[in-house]
Structure 1
Amino acid sequence: MPYLARLLTALLLSCMSLLAHAERLRIVTDPWAPYVYEENGQPKGIDYEVTAEVFKRLGVEVDWQFMPWRRCMLMVDQGLADGVLDIFQNAQRSSQLFYPNEPLSEVEFVLFQANDRPHAVNSLDDLRDLTVGTSAGYDYGKAFLESPLFRREAAPTQEANFGKLQRGRIDLVITDRRVGRYMLAQLGLEQQISELPLVIDRQRQYLAVRRNAGMDLLAQRFAAELRRFKQEPAYAELHARYGDVTPGITKTVEQQERSTP
């Protein structure tokens, strides 16, 4: 009987997994280059390409939708999306979503300043009476979000934030280091705006799926395949194409494969 019970349980779980994959997954995400974005109507980005490759290996088809972050979370909450790409993990979200136990990437939130209006910032205390441009719905860590020392002013896009910084409407912009560097290159502001060394917060980014039947198994399979992919040269080459160097990747590979997305 114990063997029969285990067999029936395995069959049930397999059926649940098949049901979960019977239809295309709908994954939502907020454009955040170079991790995930659209170019000429086509999805691109480091984390998008990694995720797409893992799903391809798992035989799972995906419909991608790009929208503002708050709408992404609303779609998931209402059951209109199966998962969300590049999401941070916290206790509240973990009660609603399954997270693979392997992250896609790690972000570092830093500050960017206009070179003609520099600020000496070594801690949050040095932001006193300043205005920092943020993105609505983003989690920069409790200390930053709850500090009464400075003002936080949200903008609809990264481009808008850096435009306001350039024009002197805000004092600083907070965003991920890779995102900020990418935006400065795209906007031609590399000589006018620079990043500060202080790291405000670090977060890991995941693909998370809604807590439906069988989706926990999908999350486990995704994590296992992602770990395998990270050990392959193709993973390093993908990062190098976006001008990024992953741990253990030599400078030679970066120089050979580097190109702008």
Structure 2
Amino acid sequence: MSTLLNLRIGVERGSYLSPELNSPAVRLDFANSMEANLLKLAKGRVDLVFGDRNAGLFVIASVPALLRNLEWKGSILESKNDYLALAKSVPNRDALLIAFNQGLRAMQMDGSFSRLLLTTGIDAAR
């Protein structure tokens, strides 16, 4: 925690903050998106960016200026699960959820899920 006190940390406005960052002593610099935070990092306006690693890797790979200047590094402050949410107004939402889960299980069993993660640079270990 003490290491964070001397840094300007880019965070996405309205996003979840880990307990380490949710302190008045930590200097947070808010932006509307991961891309905006990473652009600020590339320009030296913040010292580090907090956010989902896979989202950050995707943005870096998608923006040539970032790909040339940034590399995602660092330790994990916290690991969280991801969930799929369907609005109650979605027709056949129960059937869609069952089909999604069946498709995901099939991809995990045949190895295509791991290959997809590998080709997109997503880290499945978290």
Same-fold call, TM > 0.5? yes
Task: Answer 1 or 2: which has greater strand percent.
Answer: 1
- Residues 236 and 245 in structure 1, CA contact (< 8 A), matched pair in contact too: no
Q: CA deviation at 1:131?
A: 1.9
| Number of equivalent positions | 123
CA distance in 1 between partners of 2:29 and 2:57 (Å)? 21
Please name the residue that 2:23 is paired with.
Answer: 147
SS of the aligned residue for 1:146 comes to coil
Matched, 1:236 2:114: yes
> CA RMSD, aligned part only?
2.9
Q: Where in structure 1 are there 5+ consecutive unaligned residues?
A: 1-123, 248-261
Decide which of 82, 85, 101 is 1:205's aligned counterpart: 82
Please name the residue that 1:174 is paired with.
Answer: 50
- Residues 7 and 27 in structure 2, CA contact (< 8 A), matched pair in contact too: yes
Q: For 1:89-238, what aligned pairs fall within 5 Å after superposition?
A: 124-141=1-18, 143-185=19-61, 186-190=63-67, 192-211=69-88, 215-216=93-94, 218-238=96-116
Task: Give the residue type in structure 1 aligned to 2:102.
Answer: A
Task: Answer 1 or 2: which has greater helix percent.
Answer: 2
- Residues 125 and 149 in structure 1, CA contact (< 8 A), matched pair in contact too: no
CA distance in 2 between partners of 1:198 and 1:234 (Å)? 28
Q: CA deviation at 1:191?
A: 6.0
Task: Give CA deviations for 1:88-131 in whole Å, capped at 9, x if unaligned.
Answer: xxxxxxxxxxxxxxxxxxxxxxxxxxxxxxxxxxxx33111422
Q: CA deviation at 1:134?
A: 1.0
CA distance in 1 between partners of 2:122 and 2:39 (Å)? 25
* TM-score between the two structures when normalised by the length of structure 2: 0.71
CA distance in 2 between partners of 1:246 and 1:239 (Å)? 7
